[in-house]
Amino acid sequence: MLTSDVNPTTALKASGLKVMVTPTGTVVEAKNLWELFRAIEKCHEALCNAGAKRVYTVILIDDRRDVEKGMLDKVKSVQEKLGQSP
53 falls within a domain: yes
Q: Residue 57 is part of a domain; what is its CATH number?
A: 3.30.70.930
Is the predicted pLDDT of residue 5 greater than 70, yes or no?
no
Q: What is the pLDDT of residue 31?
A: 92
Rounded to an integer, the average pLDDT of 27-55 is: 91
**Confidence category of residue 86, pLDDT binned at 50, 70, 90:** low
Question: How far apart are alpha carbons 62 and 70 in whole angstroms?
Answer: 11
63 falls within a domain: yes
Per-chain mean pLDDT for the chain: 86
Question: How far apart are alpha carbons 86 and 80 in whole angstroms?
Answer: 7
3 falls within a domain: no
Domain count, the chain: 1
Is the predicted pLDDT of residue 43 greater than 80, yes or no?
yes
2 falls within a domain: no
φ and ψ at residue 20, rounded to 5 degrees: -130, 115
pLDDT-above-90 percentage for the chain: 28
74 falls within a domain: yes
Host domain of residue 28: 8-81
